[in-house]
Amino acid sequence: MAVIGMNELALLLERWANFYLLTSTAAATLIGLLFVVITLAASQRIGDAAKIPIYLTPTVIYFASVLFLAALLIFPYHTRLTAALCICVVGVVGLVYSGVLFVRRDIKKSYYELRDLIPYAVFPFTAYGLFVLGGVLLLHDPQCGLTLVAAAMLSLLAVAIRNSWAIAIGVVSTLSGRR
C-alpha cells in the first residue's frame, strides 16, 4: 500500500481532469437532449405520457450523477478523504435511489415489462456500488480507486444513453403510430 501525499493526489486527480470534463460534458449535453424529447412528447400529447417520468427521471438522475461526481472531483485541494467522501456519497445516494426503483412494488408495476428494471435499476445499482468500492479503494490505492470510479462513470453513462435511446424510440414510435 503506497502512501500518497496531498500533492501527489492533486497530480493524480489532475491527470483524470480531461476524463471528468469529457464525461460531464457528455452527461450535460444528453440531459439537454432529454429535455427536447420531453418537449416533443408534451407538444404531441402522447396518450401514454404518464409513463414518461417513470423512464425519464431515472435516466436524468444517472446523467446528473456522472455530471455531479465529475464536477466534485475537479475541485482543487482534495485530500484522499475528501475525494473518497465525494465518491462514496454519490455512490450511496445512487444505491438508495436505484434500490428503491428495484424494490418498491408501486414503481415496479409502472414499468411496461419487468425486464425494464434491469437497465433502469439493476445496472445502475451495480455502477453506484462500484462508486462506493472505488471511493473506499481510493483511500488505499488512489490510482486503482480512480480507475474503478471511471469504469463506474462510463457504465452509468452507457446505461443512461441506452435508456435515453429507448425513450426516444418510444416517443418517435408513438408519434408515428398516431399519424
Residue 4 lies in a domain: no
12: in domain: no
What is the pLDDT, as a whole number, of residue 144? Answer: 95
Please name the residue ranges forming H helices in 45-122. 52-74, 80-103, 105-110, 117
The reply to whether 53 falls in a domain is yes
Phi first, then psi: give them for residue 75, nearest 5 degrees: -55, 140
Q: What is the pLDDT of residue 85?
A: 97
SS3 78: coil
Question: Range of 155's domain?
Answer: 19-178
Q: Which residues of the chain have pLDDT under 50?
A: 1-3
Q: What is the pLDDT of residues 148-164, one digit of tens each?
A: 999 999 999 999 998 88
Is 13 a domain residue? no
Could you give the number of structural domains in the chain? 1
User: Residue 8: inside a domain, yes or no?
Assistant: no
Name residue, grid cell 407538444: 43
What does the pLDDT read at residue 178?
Answer: 58
pLDDT at position 1 is 46
Cell match 479503494: residue? Answer: 137
Residue 157 falls inside a structural domain: yes
pLDDT of residue 166: 81
Give the pLDDT score at 55: 75
Is 14 within the bounds of a domain?
Answer: no
Measured distance CA(42)–CA(52) in Å, rounded:
10
Please enumerate, as own/partner, the contacts of 35-41 that have beta carbons within 8 Å and a separation of 24 or more. Answer: 37/164, 37/167, 37/168, 37/171, 40/171, 40/175, 41/171, 41/174
